[in-house]
Amino acid sequence: MEFFSRRNGSLYAEDVALSELARAVGTPCYVYSLAALRTQLGAWREGFGDHPHLVCYSVKANSNLAVLRALANEGAGFDVVSGGELARVLAAGGQASSVVFSGVGKQAWEIRAALDAGILMFNVESPAELELINQLALEMGTTAPVSLRVNPDVDPQTHPYIATGLADSKFGVAADQCVEHYHRAAELKGIEVLGADCHVGSQLVSSSPIEEAATRMASLLDRLESAGIPIGYIDMGGGLGVTYQDESPPGPDEWVATLLRVFEGRGLTIVVEPGRSIAANAGVLLTTVLFHKGNHEKNFVVVDAGMNDLARPSLYSAHHDVEAVEDCDGTITADVVGPICESGDFFAKERLVANVQAGGLLAIMSAGAYGFVMASNYNTRPRPAEVLVNGDSWDLVRERETVESLFAGEAIPGHLSGE
């Protein structure tokens, strides 16, 4: 996390002290570094050199409008999985013509919105979806550009919840049935076949699963070519992992070099959909220590952020470093836990952490991807504020929710309230 550093005992995001941000906007609060986002996107783009490509940032990782705009300004396209994400991209000033739309359960309104906006292509996940897109495109008097998402049946060696390219997963169509589906797509008047797509899984810490998947996709392209179905785009999805603790994943340059090698000489535009590798280490979650407590077994550091703010440790047993924002004396072995009424509400277990006392600040590191976007209002807790740091200045890019807003859409029927 090179854009988060310690200076004279204080943790900074670029040139802004995190303690200053906590004072100004309160905690819990997500803080993102603009330079980190730009640098990571740049590494992907530079990896391709002059080769035709599109880096479609995966909006699901962090969909704050300011983040999307920052990446759009640097030439990113976008990978969306819902009408909501598409609306965000458009609201942020992203170009529809560089949007790919993935997901197994696209609804009619979402498909219509994407056709209306003029996206680059749909990553189609089933024959039934293909028929629906065709029908809607014909009704709208247009044609829908598509890729078929192929299940590459590759083991990504990652957490089972985020492995998507195995044969038994719900994603994509089986590779051996693919040519048949492409034939059907080519027949449909409302469909234009543009590409082929796959995604192996997330938090991959070596290039070998992507190399294996790319090799399988290359042989599929050969079969499609023999069948007279030319393909111009190959979308290899996202999945490049990051360092949360001691992982050493390849850089985007190595990942891209692998793709360039496998697809060399085919005249394809290569699409990638990185999310985590752009955003994870561009963000932290700031939280205040509320209390220390202990029982016969262990120590607890109770903080004001909970599993509703950052779900990854509870959901995947994911590791996030926990750092003191201001240097303090001593360490303590403790569980760092939130205020939610569940034992699964923790950020660290039996971890040696800085002995920050009540009122002091902790930073939960590597929280820029799959952090805020997975936050919920469980326990009627307002979701955190979000801040974007740019050098020595910063902006509030999302206000903290208010408690009132959380039940503003609810109503008590008259027969219950005696009206």
Stretch that binds ligand LLP, among 224-232, 233-241, 255-263, 358-366 (CB under 6 A): 233-241
Stretch that binds ligand LLP, among 221-229, 271-279, 297-305, 358-366 (CB under 6 A): 271-279
Q: Which of 47, 152, 274, 283 binds ligand LLP (CB under 6 A)?
A: 274
* Residue 237 in contact with ligand LLP, rule: CB under 6 A: yes
Q: Which of 126, 134, 202, 288 binds ligand LLP (CB under 6 A)?
A: 202
- Dihedral sign for Cα atoms in the order 106, 157, 57, 84: positive
Site track 350-389 with ligand LLP (rule: CB under 6 A), x = hit: --------------------x-------------------
* Residue 233 in contact with ligand LLP, rule: CB under 6 A: no
Which CB atom, from 12 or from 233, has the smaller least distance to ligand LLP? 233
Using alpha carbons, select from 251, 244, 404, 325 the residue that is nearest to residue 31. 325
* Residue 195 in contact with ligand LLP, rule: CB under 6 A: no
CA-to-CA distance for 172 and 3, rounded, in angstroms? 37
* Residue 106 in contact with ligand LLP, rule: CB under 6 A: no
* Residue 61 in contact with ligand LLP, rule: CB under 6 A: yes
Which CB atom, from 231 or from 278, has the smaller least distance to ligand LLP? 278
**Residues within window 23-42 making contact with ligand LLP, judged by CB under 6 A:** none
* DSSP letter assigned to residue 49: T
* Residue 85 in contact with ligand LLP, rule: CB under 6 A: no
Which stretch of DSSP H or E encloses residue 215?
helix 208-226
Minimum Å distance from CB 291 to ligand LLP? 28
- Dihedral sign for Cα atoms in the order 371, 373, 378, 381: positive
Count the neighbouring beta carbons within 10 Å of the beta carbon of residue 385.
Answer: 22
State the Cα angle at 55 between 280 and 191, rounded to 5°. 125
* Residue 338 in contact with ligand LLP, rule: CB under 6 A: no
Using alpha carbons, select from 221, 202, 211 the residue that is nearest to residue 256. 211
Minimum Å distance from CB 226 to ligand LLP? 27
* Residue 244 in contact with ligand LLP, rule: CB under 6 A: no
Stretch that binds ligand LLP, among 206-214, 237-245, 357-365, 382-390 (CB under 6 A): 237-245
* DSSP letter assigned to residue 163: B
* Residue 252 in contact with ligand LLP, rule: CB under 6 A: no
Q: Which of 102, 258, 281, 314 binds ligand LLP (CB under 6 A)?
A: 102
HEC string for 201-213: ECCECCCHHHHHH
Site track 289-328 with ligand LLP (rule: CB under 6 A), x = hit: -----------------------x---x------------
* C-alpha distance from residue 186 to each of 125, 136, 151 (Å): 16, 16, 20
Lookup: tokens for 105 = 């359960």
Size of the site for ligand LLP (CB under 6 A): 21
Q: Look-up: residue for tokens 């492995």?
A: 163
State the Cα angle at 339 between 9 and 369, rounded to 5°. 60
Minimum Å distance from CB 30 to ligand LLP? 14
* Residue 239 in contact with ligand LLP, rule: CB under 6 A: yes
Q: Which of 238, 249, 382, 384 binds ligand LLP (CB under 6 A)?
A: 238
Q: How many helices (H) and strands (E) does the chain have?
A: 13, 21
* C-alpha distance from residue 192 to each of 108, 122, 189 (Å): 18, 10, 8
* Residue 406 in contact with ligand LLP, rule: CB under 6 A: no
Using alpha carbons, select from 362, 317, 277, 340 the residue that is nearest to residue 36. 277
Half-sphere exposure (Cβ direction) of 170: Cα atoms closer than 13 Å: 7
CA-to-CA distance for 306 and 323, rounded, in angstroms? 16
Lookup: tokens for 147 = 């890729």
Site track 146-175 with ligand LLP (rule: CB under 6 A), x = hit: ----------------x-x-----------
Angle 252-263/34-48 helices, nearest 10 degrees?
20
Look up 198 and say whether it is catalytic. Answer: no
* Residue 347 in contact with ligand LLP, rule: CB under 6 A: no
Which stretch of DSSP H or E encloses residue 293?
strand 283-294
* Residue 98 in contact with ligand LLP, rule: CB under 6 A: no
- Binding residues (CB under 6 A) for ligand LLP: these are 58, 61, 79, 102, 162, 164, 199, 202-203, 237-240, 273-277, 312, 316, 370
Any idea which residues carry the catalytic annotation? 341
